[in-house]
Amino acid sequence: MTISDFFSLLGGLGFFMYGMRMLREHLEAAAGNAMETLLRRLTKTPLRGFLAGIGITAAVQSSTAVMVLLVGFVDSGFLTLQRTVWVILGANIGTTVTSQLTALDLGMLAPLLAFAGIVMMLFSKNEKVSCGHTFMPPGRSKEIFRLGGILSGFGMMFLGLSMAEAAMAPLGESGVFQSLLIKCQNPLAGILAGTVFTALLQSSTASVGILQMLARNGLIGIGQSIYIVFGQNMGTCFTALLASAGTSINARRTAALHLFINVLGTLVFLALCQVLPLELWVGRLAPSDPARQVAHVHTLFNVGSSLAFLPLGGLLVKWIKRLIPEKA
């Protein structure tokens, strides 16, 4: 791997992560205060809370953002711990939408999406003419600006992935990189690598996207990816844990509950991998698309664990209260 390839890799990752951030910020801005209203109204019953978690996380494209929001709501008393457990389970499913989107091969459309979005953002400004009027109404201008930001974010994400994939291709011949991948064949090493890497990035979306990039280039197999994905789901809890520092006891329990659910899910799936041919099943779902296989593993883990724990929501709250008891 040359210096030029390395710089291209950094540039591609930068485009990808900035595009992801841009997409999330404009989606959140478009939602406005709707998330607060929806979370308050749609958590009155377990099923409604579960569906709200799926829908809001799929719309915002970030389970981390939803979890930080939940921690804040619980800390301020707007939501109870009992209500948030259903939203957390739904949020784990909603976050799989992003991994399925990043598995799409939109390299040729990425520049067009980015260009169209930037043009919309540039021409949506309310610049005043000499007579004091504006070119378009403020409300419509904001909508066009946000839509342009969403399109630009998507385009920059896929453009960055394409750049990084091209730069990563020579790594397949690197002996050092091959030795690192061999170590990740151990399930515990793969889980640890996924956890640490995602915690550092503070985004499971970015972490899964980079893993898909490695898989698409043939640098990592589905057998290794499975355990790394398990770790990525635990690493994504790190940001909410940081956000809960110095908050109320129930806010800290909310962040810990998210980690608790993902740790339990990892243990269950780790045991299932020893007795079931999960790697073979996922390979059959997308035999010629490694990136899609990673997305399917991510979806299978989150959907499976959330549905399995859905009837146990009340027990999960009791267990987390025992693990983090009230101070005397």
Token pair 């929501």 is found at 313
Q: Is residue 115 part of a domain?
A: no
pLDDT of residue 54: 86
Q: Does the predicted TM-score (pTM) go above 0.75?
A: no
Contact (Cβ atoms closer than 8 angstroms) between residue 84 and residue 254: yes
90 assigned to some structural domain: no
- Residues 81 and 257: beta-carbon distance below 8 Å: yes
Other beta carbons within 10 angstroms of residue 86's beta carbon come to: 23
Reduced to 3 states (helix: H, G, I; strand: E, B; else coil), residue 134 is strand
Here the tokens at position 295 are 């997305």
Instruction: Decide if 85 contacts 257 (C-beta within 8 A).
Output: yes
Instruction: Determine the pLDDT at residue 171.
Output: 54
pLDDT at position 175: 56
What are the pLDDT digits (tens) for 47-61?
888 888 888 787 776
Q: With beta carbons less than 8 A apart as the criterion, state whether 113 and 155 touch.
A: yes
| pLDDT given at position 104 | 65
| Cβ contact 291:222 at 8 Å | no
The full DSSP string for 163-200 is HHHHHHGGGGG-HHHHHHHHHTTSHHHHHHHHHHHHHH
Q: What residues make up the domain containing 315?
A: 174-328
For the chain, list residues with pLDDT below 50: 127-137, 328
Would you say residue 291 lies in a domain? Answer: yes
Structure confidence at residue 267 (pLDDT)? 92
Q: Is 194 inside a domain boundary?
A: yes
- Convert the pLDDT of each residue in 117-163 to its tens digit: 888 877 776 544 344 444 444 555 777 777 788 778 777 777 776 67
- Rg of the chain over Cα atoms, rounded to whole angstroms, equals 21
pLDDT at position 132: 43
Domain count, the chain: 1
85-117 pLDDT tens trace: 888 898 888 888 877 776 666 656 777 777 888
Query: How many of the other CB atoms lie within 10 Å of CB of 63?
Result: 31
